[in-house]
Every structure is written in structure tokens, then in C-alpha cells.
Amino acid sequence: MALSAALLLGGIASAQKVDFEEYTLDNGLHVILHNDSSAPVVVTSVMYHVGAKDENPERTGFAHFFEHLLFEGTENIKRGEWFKIVSSNGGVNNANTSDDRTYYYEVFPSNNLELGLWMESERMLHPVINQIGVDTQNEVVKEEKRMRMDNQPYGNFLTAVKENMFKNHPYRWMPIGSMAHLDAATLEEFQAFNKKFYTPNNAVLVVAGQIDIAQTKEWVQKYFGAIKRGEELKKQTFVEEPITQTIKATYQDPNIQIPAIVTSYRTPSMKTRDARVLDLISSYLSGGKSSKLYKKIVDEKKMALEIGAFGFNQEDYGMYIIYGLPMGNFTLADLQKEIDEEVVKIQTELISEKDYQKLQNTFENRFVNANSNLEGIAENLATYHLLYGDINLINNEIELYHSITREEIREVAKKYLNPNQRLILDYVPSTEKAQN
Amino acid sequence: MKKTSIVVFILFLTGFMQAQDRPQPKPGKAPVVNIKKPQTFVLANGLKVMIVEDHKLPRVTYNLTLDNAPYAEGKIKGVDDLTSSLIGNGSKKIAKDPFNEEIEFLGADVNFSSSGASANSLSKYANRILELMADGALNPNFTQVEFDKEKAKMLEGLKTQEKSVTTISNRVTDALAFGKKHPSGEFVTEETLKNVSLADVQANYQNYFVPENAYLVIIGDVKYKKIKSVVEKLFGKWEKRSAPKLTYPAPENVAFTQINFVDMPNAVQSEILLVNTVKLKMSDPDFFPAVIAAYILGGGSESYLFMNLREKHAWTYGAYAEIGSSKYDSKLKSTAAVRNMVTDSAVVEFIKEIKKIRTEKVSEEALTNVKARYIGRFVMQVEKPQSVARYALNIETEDLPEDFYENYIKNINAVTPEQVQLAANKYFLVDNTRIVIAGKGAEVIPGLESLKIPIFYFDKYGNPVEKPVLKKEVPAGVTAKIVLDNYIKAIGGEKAIATVKTISMLGSTTIPQAPSPLTFTNKMDSKGKLMVEIAMGPMSLMKQVVNEKGAYVVQQGQRKNIEGNDLAEMKASAIPFEEVQLAKKTGIVLTGIESINGSEAYAVQNGKTTKYYDTKSGLKVAESKTMEQAGKTMTQTTNYGDYRAVKGVKIPFNIIQNVGFELDIKMSDVKINEGVTDADFQ
């Protein structure tokens, strides 16, 4: 008790404030600049508001496919030269795709800022999308799917959860998409997708690092200013009926021997307060060795090899997923029962003052670390602006977490975590005999 | 005509102008790089402490590293991993639960292993977290209870990776390249893990957790003077000791290039790994040429391997080469995961690219680009507090000259194409390479055989095995009758079987849906009566009976009579040794030889049922039955094993039935001509 009293006096985080400047070009491109003079490094990144959820259900995998295609070259960068330019100028680059957005970035020594801006503007202005690129990347993506999912233990776990959790919403498929759809897609379809979504008014440009603000603005205007505004997009909305009866499903994985139990609840958009409350619940249940589920099921009762809970937070809906791998003779049903008991406790009792304070400390540490490197700051700035619609969250989201009460935690658990609102997935070894 | 050409001309011009408008920008003036050094001090017990103050964020990280020489764990391989998972479970002063609770309450992270510890915390809790880290690391409390728990988890954890093609490929590669007695080649198995005792863990800690070559790195929002006195107080009492110096056999590369194949029937991609061992220290004069050669071969997305296997052929998501550099043995490996169909072609291209970097000088352009990349990374990293600490640590642990990083850019720029080629020839031993492939034998072996590279086969633990059976013809002269007769002979002969009037089998099994083990009872007599029952305690879950009157099944209280064809089939198989009858029947077909659980077996088909008999022992190893259920054709398989003699007749004590999930039944009591009455079949 002495300890927690001292902590209460300790007060709120004193994390460094992330300073930034933002403005919008005439073509609609939003620009965010963050100056950090501590090291001669600069990040140039573009986040496009296009992800797997913007795809035609008959053409899934497009957004991720573009993550490959848009490295193929531009009118001024020959095919195969992209990576060479980056690395021969001392930089690194990559991209990633989610259901909600696609993110491209380069990190260069600070004397190559202009190069980074030029490359991203080339990609936005006139990427070359031709048959040879499509054909090559089609095969590469298939290998990526085999390597990441089909040849890995538990590699299709999220695929199985998503297809059961969503009926209408495009969240029902994975960003990697359907290989049959990609095979069927024509070059014209890829070109049309590019024209529609990869436009300045559907993107945000972030420049972060050791930069001269005035010079940066000049270059941004020079390289991005002339790019034409694209069509005005209106995000489609997809409504999922609430889950009112437990969904039961089984998935067979030929790469595993130990089954997994997966429970998944549908949760609201990551922009909502409730989604943040669920983040706290997740940490309470399975964050660390002293969390409720780990301590009871793994440590004390030795029923599971591993147990975890995490929020899969997204723009339209989220999922709250709890999973476990049973030990020895314990069954999936045994684990489910133990997990459920703990969930019922959060719904009926208030968590202790001490546990509440622990959550606050954990999130404070997380918040400080979230902005501890430049790449992270750049991506957070883009995400808060583009997906959350409030860039200031980069400095004040922690206050939101601090304002959540114990009562709210109980109410939110009651609202979303009921047995009839979820999927129970038995993720089991394949019964087809694959003898090793 | 004229008009058209004008349009084309204009379009061309626009495109041209646009391109001219947007030339690739030139780099600005190179940033000035400042190389900082941490503040350091050494304790009397040998611990070296490095502190980098960084007040940008209110946080601190601690890193304790023990730079011990590698050693082989041998029969108790896994003792080091177990020590890692047990250390820091509380201390002699604070019990495990309050210890973990306090760390997590402070929102911090502390991790322990047998070779050090690390932590990150808000700086307001900096002292307490360092205190807890020191306490957990220096006063560990190894108890039998925790030991048993961690060991059980590790045993179970082994299973999660048992079918992982990637894991197995890496394991076999290291075992073959370094040898299983080498610290880098040995691996944990169920057997070695079971050999480890609590005393072994204590001895391991005692021997190796010593300050002789220990480094504590502190980065963040702390003041040197204040934290120095905290460190002295916490680590000053750590007893001065050195770790034992053990030797192990040096690895040897193979005399000729060869394929080492591991059959993984579940693989959808082949993991290809070309490997030879090397000795390359960071302080070696050809260190930079060697890493640059490896980078040009397979370091990034413009390397020889990547441009060939991914960009040109699209056979893989990525193809890479990597050279290890260390004071100890390390390896050069080139890898890719490719789809089954192209495995052999990919091997050819791998060899081609390695030969290329050995025989052709790299282009000035490629070399300049790679140098720029290394220098660029260095420039971006060098001023970060983590790098300041890491570079200082490397100078100590890798025995580098004090000015290694001051001369870094200069030394990289000095590398010539000739040096790169020399290094490639010295380290990329294309004629002494193992090409380890883990993949689906049935689909990839024929292609690999056509390469005319010797192939050796290994199991998933790196033990040599025979070439796996892919598809096999039945030897001439063998018939279904001969197979059935052999089976009868193998289990004891027709005479012994004739004395069997009744059989009673009792066993148990577990299923995912039931909380406790289930009992299994199977009774039958030679007159065609049968009873099978699965029960949970006193409650019957499933019961099946065949008697003179007919047959029925009771499932969850519902009784269903069996009639028609199903009844006839059930009756025919309701005798102890059906083969005696089958051997006399016509229409029984020997369809071929198949692989059942890794062994060859004859497949004998009778209507919808196929029985499998081991080609060597003659025993029945499996049975599969196709049936219609809800309009779908399903195959139900049963495996038989653990044959033991009961009154001169061999009976399987293990039956594994696949009914949508595996029902693994182990017999505890099998009786012949005892324990069965007619009442059992009512």
C-alpha cells in the first residue's frame, strides 16, 4: 500500500512532446513535418487510405499486391532500380499493408531528404504498372503466402478467425487476398485501382528527422505540387449485424500437433473510447506474468503452454481475441472454461485499485516507448491523422487511457464480452495424414 | 497520317519534358558524424559498466551481457534454456509472485536469461528496477516446483514446432554443418530435456553466471554519478569467478558438394539452405571484403540471388545470403523458400550465383552502391545512444582496435573488387557445400536426382536414413493371399489363432471434448459376437453390439438398429481374426505398397475397406474404410501398433482411430478366453 500511495504522488507521464507542423497542398495532399535534430536521419513516408477493405470482393488482395507493384518502377525510375537507388544512397525502405491503409517509407541520411521526396512523388505521380510487373509479383505474392501462412505452424489462424467473424464487411478476408482473384485480374483492373486510390487527396506525407522546415516545404511543393488531384472518394460503410449466438468453427492446420482454442469477440472501431477500455482489459487479462489468465492457467494450474489476449484494432470494427494452447491432457474445453471464469469476474466485480494503478503505469511506459524512435513517430503521426482523424492523439492519447475508470472497465466487459457474442474456434491439427 | 504523327510527337515531348523536369536529386552535403563514447568504469570483480546519458525521453534501459565462450551441453542439452526460463523467477529475497507483480506494477519490463538480463523502465523507477534486475540475476531461487513446471512447458513447446518445415530445416542444417557435438550443432530433444535435473540448472548457473566477461550497459535518462553508486552497491558483491573453458570438435566442411534431403510430406514449399562453416572475426583484415561479398551475393533486394530467384524467376518471396562473423565458428548460408515444383531449378541458380561471385569481379557500380549502403547506415545509426553503447560493447567483446569505428568509413571505402573476389573464394566454398533441403520428397526428389549431385537423406533430427519411398510397385509373385497368410503367421500362426474363443480388451483414451480420460472396452468371440463401448466414468458414450439377433448402436442414450448391407458388413468383421476368412475369399486385391507412418506396407483392398500390412514384420499396421455420411464420402482410418503376445497370439495394444479427431487408445488389459460371457453381447 505504501508503494501505491507513492505512485499516486508520482503523477502523470512527462513524455517528451512530439512537435509537428501540418498543412495541405492544393491537390489535397496532407503534409506533416516533424523536426528532430538529434541524429542526421530523415524519414519520408506516405500513407494511402486504401487497404484490403477497399477491395472488390471478387478481386481481393489488390492493396497488398500494390505494395509489391509500386516498387516496380516509375517513368523516371527503371524497373529494378528502386531498391538500388535507395541502398546506393545509404537508405532503407519498405512498405506494409493492412485492412485499412498502406504505408510506404524510406529512411535516409539527412542529406538525401530531397531524394526521398522525389521517390515518393514519382510513385504517386506516374508509377509504371505493366504486365511484366504484374506477372512477376503475382508469383512472388504466392510464395509470400506459402511462406508466411501455409508452411507455418498456426499460420492461418487469423484467416480462420476473420472469415468467421465478418459476414458483410470486407474484414472477412486477409490482405494477402485470394490467389484465384489475383490470377483473374487484368492489367486494366490494376491500373484503374491505382488511379482511383493512390492520389494526393487520399494520402498523407510525413517528413520526420533532421530537417530544415523551409527547405523541406519548398521541395514538397516542387515534387508533389504538380500531381493532379484524384476523384473524391467516399468510404463505403459495411454494417455487421451484432453476433447474438455463439459461432462455432473448426480449422485444420497440417503444420501443428498441439491444438489451439480461440475466442473472438467483435468490438467497435478503434477510434471509440470503448476500444481503449478493451485495450486495458486485454493487458489486465494477459499482459505479463502477473496477469490474470497467465498466472492462473499457465503458472498455477499448468493447463496451458501459452495463453494470450489481444485487441485487433481497426478503423470500422475490431476484434478482441483470446487464445490458448493446452498442455498435456487438458482439452480445449478445459481452457475455455477457465478463460470464461475470468471474463465473468471482470463483468461482475471491479478490478482492484492496485491492478488499476498497474494498468495505468503499463500504459504510461508503453506511451513513452511508442515515440522513442523516428520511424515510429513518423508512422504514428500518419496513423493518427489519417485513420483516427486527430493528430494530437500522438501527445494526448495517454490522457484518454488515464480517464478510464474501473466502473467503465466493468461496463465495457459486460457490453462486449458475453458468451453469445463470440466465435469459438477450435484450431486443430489436420486429420489428413501427413506423416513425418 | 501526318496528324497522327504530330500527336505522337507531342505526347512523346510531354513525357520527355516531364522526365527532364524531374531528374533524380543529388545528395546534399554529407552530414558530419560525431562518434561518441560512453562513460565507463570497471568493478573489482571484472564487471565493465558503460553509461550513455540520454535525456530525450523519461526512460532508461539496462543490459547485462555475459560474454562467455560457447560450450556443448551434450546429454543435458536444454539445461541452458531451462536456466534461462528459471532465472529471475523471483529471488532468494523476494518470492516469485510479489517479484513479478512489482515489476509489472511499475509498468516495466525485465527479462532474464542464462547469459544476462535486460530491463526497460520509466526513469522515475530507474533505481528500483535496477535493484530488482540485480536481485533476480544474482540471487536466483531455483526450486523443484518451478523447475518441473518449466520443463513440462518446454517439453510441450517442442511439439508446437515439430511439423514446422522452417524449424526442422534450420535444425538439420546446423546439426550437419557443425556436427551434433558442437555448441552450434546440438539441439534440444525430448530425450535430452528429460535428462536435465534441478542440480544441473544450479551447476550451470554457478559455472557460467560470472562477472569475468560481463558488461552492464545503461542508456537513458539517468545521471552518471548517481547511477554509478547504485551499480557499485548492487553489483559490487557479485563474487569474482571465471567460467570453465571447455573444448569441442571443430566443424569440418564436406569434401564435395551434396544435397542433404529431409522429407517433409506436409511441406508446400521447399526450404533450401546452402551452407559451409567459416571462421571470420570482425577484426580480420578481410572482414569488410567478406561482408560486402556476402551482401552483393544475397544481402538485399538488388543482390545476385534476389534479382535472380525473386525478380527474374519469381520462385520465392526472398533469397538471401548471410555470413556470420564471430570470435568462434560461424557459417555462410544462402537460403530461400521456393515452391515445390522449382526446387531443382532453384538449386541450379544458387550454385550459379555463388560461382559467379567467385569467378567474376563485382562491378564498380555494385561495389560503390554497397559501400554507400553500409556508410549510410553507419551515418544514420552512429549518433543514436543505442549505437554508442553497442559500438563500445563490440570493441570489447569482438576484440576490435579502439579506433575501429573512427576508421569505419575509411576502411569500407578502401575495399576493392579484387579483395571482394578473394574473400568470396576464401569463404564461399561452393565445392564443399551442403545443400540442405527440407521439402515434400514425393514432389521434389525426382527433379533433384536429375541434377546429378549426390543426395543423402536425413530424418528431421539429422540422422542418416534411406531414401524415402515415393511410390512403389509390388514385387513380382506377391499376392493378397500371401500377404494375409504372412500376417496370420506373424501374429502366431493359424493353430494358435484357432484356440482363441474370446478376446477381451480394456483400455483408455482422451478426447478434446471430455474433461477426463475415457475407458474403452472391446469384447468378441469366435462365433461372431462383438461389443465395443466407450465410457466416461459410469456413463456410456457409445456402445456397439453385434449378436445372433442382429446389431445395434447406442449413442448418447439413442439406440439405432443396424440393418441391410451395413449389418452384413459388420457381421463379417465381427470375428477376432478376419484375415483367416479373407485369405480364402476371392476378389481381394493387393493394390500396392504405401508408406504408413514412415514404413512400407502392402495395401490389401476388400470392397470399401483397405488393410495395410507392414512389408517387413507382416503385422497389420492400419485399416481405412470409406463410407457415406450425409452425402459425403469420408475415409476413416485406424492405426495398429505396440503388438504384444497374449497366450501366443500377438494383439495390438495401441489402436489409433481417426474419427474427425484422433482417438488414441492404449490397452491396459487384454485377455484371451477369459472375462467374456454371452451377457456381454446383450
| pLDDT one-digit tens code per residue, A99-112 | 999 999 999 999 99
| b (16+ CB within 10 A) / e for B131-154 | ebbbbbbbebbbeeebbebbbebb
Residue B421 CA, chain-centre distance (Å), reads 34
- Do A211 and A278 fall within a single domain? no
Kindly list the residues from chain A whose CB atom is less than 8 angstroms away from the CB atom of residue B60.
none
CA distance B333 to chain A (A): 18
Pairing of strands B258-263, B455-458: parallel
CA distance B468 to chain A (A): 11
> Angle at CA B221, nearest 5°, toward B217 and B224?
60
pLDDT, position B625: 81
Interface test with B, best of A105, A117, A147 (most B CBs within 10 A): A147
> Angle at CA B549, nearest 5°, toward B547 and B555?
65
- Do A159 and A255 fall within a single domain? no
- β partners of residue B560: B553
- Do A46 and A147 fall within a single domain? yes
Q: Is residue A175 part of a domain?
A: yes
Give the whole-angstrom CA distance, residue A226 versus residue B34.
39
Give the whole-angstrom CA distance, residue B488 versus residue B497.
8
pLDDT in tens, B568-604: 877 877 788 888 888 888 888 888 887 776 678 898 9
- Check if the beta carbon of residue B261 is closer than 8 Å to that of residue B270: no
Q: What is the ipTM of this complex?
A: 0.84
Q: Is residue A315 part of a domain?
A: yes
The answer to whether A40 contacts B268, with C-beta atoms less than 8 Å apart, is no
CATH of the domain at A60: 3.30.830.10
| b (16+ CB within 10 A) / e for A10-37 | eeebebeebebeeeebebbbbbbbbbbe
- Do A208 and A274 fall within a single domain? no
User: Average of pLDDT values for A149-173?
Assistant: 93
The answer to whether B19 contacts A75, with C-beta atoms less than 8 Å apart, is yes
- β partners of residue B508: B519, B666
Q: Is residue A233 part of a domain?
A: no
Phi-psi group of B8: left, alpha or beta (phi > 0 → left; psi -120 to 50 → alpha; rest → beta): alpha
Q: How many domains does chain A have?
A: 2
- β partners of residue A263: A322, A424
Which DSSP state fits B474? P
Nearest Cβ partner for A256 among B59, B160, B307: B160
- Do A252 and A177 fall within a single domain? no
pLDDT, position B112: 96
pLDDT, position A50: 97
C-alpha cell, A215: 527547405
**Given a cut of 70, is residue B369 above it in pLDDT?**
yes
Kindly list the residues from chain B whose CB atom is less than 8 angstroms away from the CB atom of residue A179.
none
pLDDT in tens, A293-302: 999 999 999 9
The answer to whether A435 contacts B311, with C-beta atoms less than 8 Å apart, is no
C-alpha cell, B68: 562467455
CA distance B190 to chain A (A): 14
The answer to whether B380 contacts A108, with C-beta atoms less than 8 Å apart, is yes
pLDDT in tens, B412-436: 999 999 999 999 999 999 999 999 9
| Amino acid residing at B358 | R
| b (16+ CB within 10 A) / e for A292-306 | bbbbbbbbeebbbbb
Q: Is residue A319 part of a domain?
A: yes
CA distance A164 to chain B (A): 20
Q: What chain A residue is nearest to B634 in terms of C-alpha separation?
A: A432
Residue B16: band (very low, low, confident or very high) from pLDDT cuts 50, 70, 90? very low
pLDDT in tens, B142-163: 999 999 999 999 998 888 888 8
- Do A169 and A282 fall within a single domain? no
Q: Which long-range contacts (CB under 8 A, 24 or more apart) does A86-90 make?
A: A86/A119, A87/B300, A87/B301, A87/B302, A87/B369, A87/B370, A87/B372, A87/B373, A87/B376, A88/B368, A88/B369, A88/B372, A88/B373, A89/A115, A89/B27, A89/B372, A89/B376, A90/B372, A90/B373, A90/B375, A90/B376, A90/B377, A90/B379, A90/B380
CA A335, A338, A341, A342 torsion-angle sign: negative
pLDDT, position B30: 82
- Check if the beta carbon of residue B625 is closer than 8 Å to that of residue B659: no
Q: Is residue A50 part of a domain?
A: yes
pLDDT, position B17: 38
Q: What chain B residue is nearest to A119 in terms of C-alpha separation?
A: B24
**Given a cut of 60, is residue A284 above it in pLDDT?**
yes
Spell out the alpha helix ranges (H) of B468-593. Answer: 480-491, 494-498, 564-573, 579-582
- Map out the domains of chain B with their CATH numbers: 39-235 (3.30.830.10), 258-465 (3.30.830.10), 480-681 (2.50.20.10)
Kindly list the residues from chain A whose CB atom is less than 8 angstroms away from the CB atom of residue B380.
39-41, 90, 107-109
Which residue range forms the structural domain that includes residue A194?
Answer: 16-224
Kindly list the residues from chain A whose CB atom is less than 8 angstroms away from the CB atom of residue B662.
429, 431
- Do A377 and A264 fall within a single domain? yes
Interface test with B, best of A105, A219, A252, A289 (most B CBs within 10 A): A289
Give the whole-angstrom CA distance, residue B393 versus residue B217.
8
Kindly list the residues from chain A whose CB atom is less than 8 angstroms away from the CB atom of residue B512.
259, 331-333, 426, 428
pLDDT in tens, A217-244: 999 999 999 999 999 999 889 999 999 9
Q: Is residue A288 part of a domain?
A: yes
pLDDT in tens, B263-300: 987 788 999 999 999 999 999 999 999 999 999 999 98
Report the SS3 class of residue A42: strand
pLDDT, position B651: 93
Q: Is residue A268 part of a domain?
A: yes
pLDDT, position B201: 97
Q: What is the DSSP string of A188-248?
A: HHHHHHHHHHSSGGGEEEEEEES--HHHHHHHHHHHHTTSPP-PPP-----PPPPP-S-EE
Kindly list the residues from chain A whose CB atom is less than 8 angstroms away from the CB atom of residue B368.
88
Residue A432: band (very low, low, confident or very high) from pLDDT cuts 50, 70, 90? low
- Do A321 and A220 fall within a single domain? no
pLDDT, position B511: 75
C-alpha cell, B145: 516446483
- Do A54 and A191 fall within a single domain? yes
Kindly list the residues from chain B whose CB atom is less than 8 angstroms away from the CB atom of residue A255.
163-165, 266
- Check if the beta carbon of residue B379 is closer than 8 Å to that of residue A109: yes
Q: Percent of chain A having pLDDT more than 70?
A: 95
Give the whole-angstrom CA distance, residue B269 versus residue B365.
34
The answer to whether B31 contacts A431, with C-beta atoms less than 8 Å apart, is no
- Do A107 and A165 fall within a single domain? yes
pLDDT, position B175: 97
CA-wise closest residue to B109 among B86, B125, B93 = B125
Give the whole-angstrom CA distance, residue B235 versus residue B43.
8
Residue B559: band (very low, low, confident or very high) from pLDDT cuts 50, 70, 90? confident
The answer to whether B380 contacts A139, with C-beta atoms less than 8 Å apart, is no
- Do A338 and A420 fall within a single domain? yes
Q: Is residue A4 part of a domain?
A: no
Interface test with B, best of A12, A44, A88, A210 (most B CBs within 10 A): A88
Taking one residue from A and the other from B, the number of pairs with CB-CB distance under 8 angstroms is: 266
- Check if the beta carbon of residue A253 is closer than 8 Å to that of residue A425: no
Half-sphere exposure of A175 (CA within 13 A, CB side): 17
Residue B233: band (very low, low, confident or very high) from pLDDT cuts 50, 70, 90? very high
Q: Percent of chain A having pLDDT more than 90?
A: 79
- Check if the beta carbon of residue A321 is closer than 8 Å to that of residue A276: no
A229 burial class (0-12, 13-18, 19+ CB within 10 angstroms)?
Answer: middle
- Check if the beta carbon of residue B295 is closer than 8 Å to that of residue B305: no
Residues contacting residue B274 through CB under 8 Å, at least 6 positions apart: B333, B334, B335, B350, B351, B354, B433, B434, B435, B436
Kindly list the residues from chain B whose CB atom is less than 8 angstroms away from the CB atom of residue A223.
22
Q: Which of A188, A209, A224 is the last residue of a domain?
A: A224
Which helix (H) or strand (E) segment is A6 a member of?
A: helix A2-10
Give the whole-angstrom CA distance, residue B151 versus residue A151.
28
Q: Give chain A's mean pLDDT.
A: 91
Q: Give chain B's mean pLDDT.
A: 89
pLDDT in tens, B473-507: 678 888 899 999 999 999 999 888 889 999 999 99
Residue A433: band (very low, low, confident or very high) from pLDDT cuts 50, 70, 90? very low
Look at the block and give the residue holding cell 449485424: A241
Interface test with A, best of B33, B145, B268 (most A CBs within 10 A): B268
- β partners of residue B465: B457
- Do A86 and A206 fall within a single domain? yes
Report the SS3 class of residue B308: helix
Kindly list the residues from chain A whose CB atom is less than 8 angstroms away from the CB atom of residue B385.
none
Interface test with A, best of B160, B261, B408 (most A CBs within 10 A): B160
Nearest Cβ partner for A151 among B307, B337, B375: B337
CA A249, A252, A253, A259 torsion-angle sign: positive
- Check if the beta carbon of residue B91 is closer than 8 Å to that of residue B195: no
- Check if the beta carbon of residue B307 is closer than 8 Å to that of residue B313: no
